[in-house]
Structure 1
Amino acid sequence: MSIRLRDRFFALSTGQAPADEVARYLAEVDATDTEPAATLDGLAISWHPTARFKAVRFVDAERVHEGVRERFARPSELAPHLAAVFVDPRELSFRTFENIVPLDRWFADTPLELELSEPVELAKDAYASSLRLPDAGRARLEGLDTLGLYVPPLNAATRGGDRFIFHSALLADALTEAVRRAMPTPLLDGFSHVNPVFRCNRFEPDDANFHRHRDTPYYDAARGHVSRYTVLLYLTGGTGEPALDLTGGAAVAGIESFTCVVFDQRYEHEGAPFRDGRKVFLRTELIFAEDPEVTHDPEIGALFSKACYLTGESVFAPELARHADASYNRVAAAHWNGLARGPAREPYLHKQFRGVHFIANGYDFWFARSDGLSLAECAAITLLDYFNCKLGDESFRDLCESAVIEAEDDAWIPAFLKGRGGPEAPAVAPFDKSLLFPEPELTDGVCCPFHDGGQFDPTRLDEIVDLHERAQSFAKAHIMPAPILMLGEDVVLDPEKFVIRGNQIHVLGKESLTPVNFAACWNAGGVPGNYIDVAATVGAEHFLVPPILFSETGDCHHLRFDFFRNTWMVQHQRATVPVPKISSLAEIDLYAIDQDAHERWLEAVDPALVEGGSAEHPTPWWADRSPLVDELYDCLSDYEAEDEEEGEERGT
């Protein structure tokens, strides 16, 4: 049934099936439930749609866990490296809203010698050129429309058509060189490159317009990059009413295929579908080294943070989508004209999580002081909410009761929260993470199960203890620095990772791995890896975020969480880390072939956690060479190094 649901989805996605057939299929999907097949980018994924997994995404198939990879469809015959995965839209956060499809393989081995004709000035800081390229390259660009990757955009309510987003450094590099050769010299002052992230947009003649808007400038504080110009590359030609309208600039009624339009991102613009056929175009931007005179307005960052938050919340409350879209447009305009006055009323979310009531808008988070919450607990709930972290198999926002409240200001909040009653038990309790890592037993000198006289104790064998300590060090490196842990459905925090200084809450981050080393001898009874089992699976939430500002009134903790301040790049990583333990192998014959025993802990480690050390060192005789083994055994012990030096002196 799951294979049929998977394949039927793509058959119906062509849009040719009768409405009643689609309705029957959707009803069957809504009646289907399943466990996730794997995780990817922190999202649970399924190979077919279900009542939970309804949003399709396209990913590099090699990133899907090898054990289930073949179950995922390869819906694009022209791009067989792409697998289709289905995710739960309720798990999405601002880091995972958009599916950016990797398409460098699509352009590999394709001639991309791009040439732009001398640009024609449409208006001040707006130009049009014809793109010339080899026939094979032209066919590749036109073929983007045939890959079957389109999905409705997030802001479908304010724009027509479909789109998909893709990444291609090959195409961006070729276009960068063409821009350097063709565009006017004043435009190129500080020019760095074309953004390798492209949006492929498709409009049919009866689709709604792409409504008037400004493009939000791209900004990378870490690299000092900012976008200034939008690039539109039309893959099809036609006429519209108008096809492109730059407010205060030019209105273009007819556009030839492979026309490239470059315009200053100050321009508000709108585009209508072609009357005489399909309209397909790519959008990207020109990236420049940041102008040292550029200033940063924290109010713009705060509004953008609210817009991102409301986009995620619109999955639960669709009426918030229009508020999010209006906020994005205000942010885009503010980069050029300053922040305009907003609407008279704005939305707030009243949430309840395990007895904790709080109010949030994506930048401000209010908690009642009468609930007895510490600032660390308030900060932890704020992090969980903004990043929509997973607790067990459910997203944080899915576990909250939530209601939208529109108000003119926030003066009502303290009275609203006061007296609602606090949690009966801590919603996020403090936890001593060292309890996950008990000290190992002392070794007893036995070399292997074969020589133990029938009393083999794996917890006392030096080579098993050695591997156990290495596995603990590996797990500690990912768990100990995490401010928040998920133990099944329980959320716990490390208070030491939340440091209060002045009016700021600093969330401390991840540290580096420190390995350990030993050695031993084996004859029978498996290999050391067979005895290292999984004691527990811990979800470790790692955050690299700016300080959380806070203020306190008589009634509220008021936290302000600005992820887009001018000197910060925000990062969030969810890691599921297996905690090792030593177990016996009673179910395995001590004299059985070694390969019959599973290496449970080694097999449970997520490959995404492994950095893959490449230091020159001997791999243990019993272990296959792998990035994880490289990381566990990434240096010689003093004993081994001394023994090696003595051997060299003896010429052995």
Structure 2
Amino acid sequence: MNTELRDRFFALSAGSASEDEVARYRAEVDATDTDAAAVIDGLSVSWHPSARFKAVRFLDVERINETARDLFARPSEEAPHLAAVFVDPRELSFRTFENIVPLDRLFESASLDFTLAGRVELAQDAYAAQLRLPDTDRARLEGLHELDLYVRPLNSSSRGGERFIFHSALLADALTKAVSKALPQAVLDGFSHVNPVFRCNRFEPGDANFHHHRDTPYYDAARGHVSRYTLLLYLTGGSGQPALDLTGGAALTEIDAFTCVIFDQRYEHEGAPYRDGRKAFLRTELIFHQADSEIEHDPGIGALFSKACYLTGESVFAPELARHADTYYNQVADAHWNGLSVGDSASEPFVHKQFRGVDFVANGYDFWFAKSEGISLTECAAITLLDYFNCKLGETAFRDACDSSVIEATGTGWISAFLRNQRGEGSVRVAEAVAAFDKSLFFPESEETDNACCPFHERGEFDATRFDEIVDLNEAAQTFAKAHIMPAPILMLGQDVVLDPEKFVVRGNQIHVLSKESLAPVNFAACWNSGGTPPNYIDVAATVGAAHFLVPPIVFFETEDFYHLQFDFFRNTWMVKHQQSPVPVPRIRDIDEMDFDPDDWDTRVEAAVAYPWMAAVDPSLIKEPSGKRKAAPWWADGSPLVNDLLDCLDEIAEKYEDWEENQKEAESEDGS
């Protein structure tokens, strides 16, 4: 039966079925329950649709466990490496809102010898040209919109037609070379490449327009990249009313197949279907290097973008939120170029949620918690992260674990009384919503050994928990496990993360979520021999791999009635920094280990400049001969842990400098 449901899904997707047939099929799906066949990118996936798994996605079949791989359909004959999986839309988060399909395999054997010819200036910073390419490459591109990889976008209410998103570095490289030769040099100033993420759009006559909008620019602060121009490549030709309208620029009613239109992303634009025949086109953008001096940051834009993303996810539960999310996205796109406009006093959407007895109100940037809940600030921060990322708690997505309702209101003055009234004045919760987890429970202390000989000679008296060799092996295994095990994991953006309340540090009005413990200070002796200096004695005892999830601090405000938290994960960017780095553990070594000859000046100098632990942490922590410390690495910039470390090193350096000055005075007095 499940195989039949799988196959009928793709048969009905062809569009030839009657409404009654589709309705019967949906009823069968809603009556079907199933367990997940795999977990990919944090999403539980099934090989057939069911009451839970209703949203289709396409991914490389090799990512599916080989034992279950044959169960999944491969509906695209032209791309047999792609498997169709069904996911629970309630589990979607920022990383999985969109299904980006890998399609480089389609172009591996293509020549991709592209030329843009006959460039025409449509308007200021808007151009059109004809893409010239070999017939075999043309056929590959023409076939893209026939791959049947379309999925319903979350913003389908503001756009007509169908689309799917794919990634192809090979296609992007070919277009990068063509664009570099075709556009005016003034436009190409700072040009880096064509974005390898493409949107394939398909419209049939009679479909709704893609409403007026601005394309949200791509921005990568880490690489200094920003998109400035949109690139549209029309795979089919036709006429529309108009087929492309650049507001304040040009309107195209007739478009030839393989016309490439490139325009500044400041343009608001709209597209209508062709009157006769299918309209299919690819959309991507031109990426430029952007100097920091050319970028200004407005926190208001980041707040609005956070709200848009949050409401997009919430629209799975409350479809009426989709129009608000779409409005916010357009406001953000406009603000990137023109700044935020002054808002009016119109009502806006909020979401009221209850999670394990805790009521809170959120809009995606602001999170309000009533103190009448008896809740701690750490719990508020933890719930904010769980909700923001729609983390999975075991097998359940956070949003699915909440009771939610949408509230449209003007301003925020109503929230305090609303939350207070949810539980009644003075009521207190019985248990914590996010309880601390004692990781030591996984690692009980070893029993005292009994000096037994072996299981054979001890016969029935042998106790494995007291046998010295077994105890030693167990403790060694515990040491390894403590460094690797992830007790009580929470799945955040598809990655296991331990939510440890002890790592939530409040400083001022910010909550920092730390990823490792601060280094303990070293108590140095007051006197030193002539064989070395304090930093020479700190060596590396072990190196432990540690993953740093750099989460921006959560800003909070406190009143008598509630905690108000603000969290902007994206910082108006589209990337999170994640660094895998070694953590050297310090130990104090004996100076004899340096093995140098006190009478040999060269070896004495070499020993005097050896700072093994500091060098292992990062070479930038060592001061240059001029006394100036090297620049900190990007991942350390602003980190409270690294700041503490630098403060500690400064204190060490001051003590060392005092010691060095006293040493020089002593040497001058005795003439040595």
CA distances 1:451-501 after superposition (whole Å, capped 9, x unpaired):
997988776595897488447625643527x99699xxxx99522210111
Q: Which residue of 2 aligns with 1:49?
A: 49
Q: Do the aligned residues in 1 keep the contact of 2:219 with 2:574 (CA within 8 Å)?
A: no
Measured in 1, the distance between the counterparts of 2:230 and 2:5 equals 40
**Residue 408 of structure 1: aligned partner:** 410
1:507 aligns to what?
A: 513
| 1:288 corresponds to | 288
- Supply the AA of the counterpart residue of 1:167: H
Comparing 424-433 with 303-312, greater Cα deviation is found at 424-433
1:53-68 superposed matches below 5 A = 53-68=53-68
* Partner Cα separation in structure 1 for residue 196 and residue 470 of structure 2: 49
**Residue in 2 aligned with 1:246?**
246
Alpha-carbon distance in 1 for matches of 2:457, 2:574? 59
Pair 1:436 & 2:437 matched: no
How far 1:179 sits from its partner (Å)? 0.7
- For the 8 Å contact 2:367–2:564, the answer to whether it is kept is yes
Give unpaired runs (5+ residues) of structure 2. 518-546, 580-672
Separation (CA, whole Å) in 2 of partners of 1:141 and 1:485:
38
Query: Alignment partner of 1:6: what SS?
Result: helix
Shift of residue 312, structure 1, vs aligned partner: 0.4
Deviation at 1:342, TM superposition (A): 3.9
Match of 2:36 in 1: 36
Tell me, yes or no, if the aligned pair for 1:60 and 1:102 is still in contact at 8 Å: yes
Distance 1:479 1:86 in 2: 28
Structure 1 pair 337/455, CA: closer, same or farther in 2 (3 Å)? same
Aligned to 1:380: 382
Conserved? CA contact 2:312–2:322, under 8 Å = yes
Correspondence 1:546-625 to 2 at 5 A = 546-565=552-571, 569-570=575-576
Residue of structure 2 equivalent to 1:325:
326
Contact residue 486 and residue 498 of structure 2 kept, 8 A: no
Conserved? CA contact 2:166–2:199, under 8 Å:
yes
> Under a length normalisation based on structure 1, what TM-score does the superposition of the two structures give?
0.78
**Is the 8 Å Cα contact of residues 131 and 259 (structure 2) preserved in structure 1?**
yes
**Correspondence for 1:305:** 306
Deviations 1:366-391 (A, max 9, x none): 00112221111000000111111112
| 8 Å contact kept, 2:370–2:561 | yes
Letter in 2 for 1:500: V
**What secondary structure does 1:106 align onto?**
helix
Deviation at 1:20, TM superposition (A): 1.5
Distance, in Å, in 2 between the alignment partners of 1:387 and 1:345 is 25
Aligned to 1:111: 111
Distance 1:464 1:3 in 2: 51
Look up the SS of the partner of 2:143 in the other structure. Answer: helix
How far the C-alpha of 1:566 sits from its partner, in A, is 5.7
Letter in 2 for 1:366: W
Structure with max Cα Rg = 2
**Residue type at the aligned position of 1:318:** P
- When structure 1 is superposed on structure 2, of 438-447 and 275-284 the one drifting more is 438-447
Query: Partners of 1:102 and 1:456 in 2: how far apart?
Result: 58
Q: Which runs of 5+ in 1 are unaligned?
A: 512-540, 574-652
Query: How far, CA to CA, are the matches of 1:330 and 1:72 in structure 2?
Result: 40
Equivalences for 1:125-274 in 2 at 5 Å? 125-274=125-274
Residue range with higher mean Cα deviation, 99-108 or 441-450? 441-450
Residues 491-506 of structure 1 aligned to structure 2 (within 5 Å):
493-506=499-512
- What is aligned with 1:576? none
- Amino acid paired to 1:333: D
Q: Is the 8 A contact 1:430 1:492 kept in 2?
A: no
Deviation at 1:66, TM superposition (A): 2.4
Higher helix share: 2
Q: CA deviation at 1:106?
A: 1.3
Q: What's the offset of the Cα at 1:276?
A: 1.6
Percent identity, please: 72
CA deviations over 1:250-288 (Å, ceiling 9, x no partner): 000111111110000000000000112101000000001
Aligned counterparts of 1:264 and 1:462: Cα–Cα separation in 2: 71
Q: Is the deviation greater in 172-181 or in 333-342?
A: 333-342
Return the alpha-carbon distance in structure 2 between the equivalents of residues 80 and 456 of structure 1.
59
Deviation at 1:570, TM superposition (A): 3.2
Mapped partners of 1:214, 1:44: distance in 2: 34
Q: Once the 2 structures are TM-superposed, how far is the Cα of residue 332 of structure 1 from its aligned partner?
A: 0.6
- What's the CA shift for 1:352? 0.8
Counterpart of 1:27 in structure 2 is 27
Report the counterpart of residue 425 of structure 1 in structure 2.
431
C-alpha distance 566-11 of structure 1, shift in aligned 2 (>3 A): closer
Does the 8 Å contact 1:545/1:568 carry over to 2? Answer: no
What is the distance in 1 between the residues matched to 2:455 and 2:16?
66
| Alpha-carbon distance, 1:119 to partner | 1.6
Cα distance in 2 between the residues matched to 1:39 and 1:448: 45
Structure 1 counterpart of 2:134, one-letter code: P
The one-letter amino acid of 1:562's match is D
Task: Look up the equivalent residue of 1:544 and give its one-letter code.
Answer: L
Render the CA deviation track for 1:590-619: whole Å, top value 9, x for unaligned: xxxxxxxxxxxxxxxxxxxxxxxxxxxxxx
1:420 match: secondary structure: helix
Shift of 1:447: 12
Q: 1:319 to 1:443 in 2, by over 3 A?
A: same
Aligned to 1:365: 367
In the alignment, is the contact (CA less than 8 A) between 1:214 and 1:268 conserved in 2? yes
- Tell me, yes or no, if the aligned pair for 2:301 and 2:572 is still in contact at 8 Å: no
What amino acid maps onto 2:554 in structure 1? I
Task: Measure the CA separation in 1 of the matches of 2:140 and 2:352.
Answer: 49
2:74 paired residue number: 74
Q: How many angstroms apart in 1 are the aligned matches of 2:27 and 2:3?
A: 17
| SS at structure 2 position matched to 1:479 | coil
The alignment partner of 1:117 has SS state of strand
- CA distance in structure 2 between the partners assigned to 1:4 and 1:449 by the alignment: 58
CA 1:572 to 1:89, structure 2 compared with 1: closer, same or farther past 3 Å? farther
CA distance in 1, matches of 2:73, 2:456: 48
Distance in 2 (CA, whole Å) between partners of 1:5 and 1:333 is 44
CA spacing shift, 1:452–1:110, aligned 2, 3 Å? farther
* CA 1:485–1:284: 2 relative to 1, 3 Å: closer
TM-score (norm 2): 0.76
Following superposition, the deviation at residue 145 of structure 1 comes to: 1.4
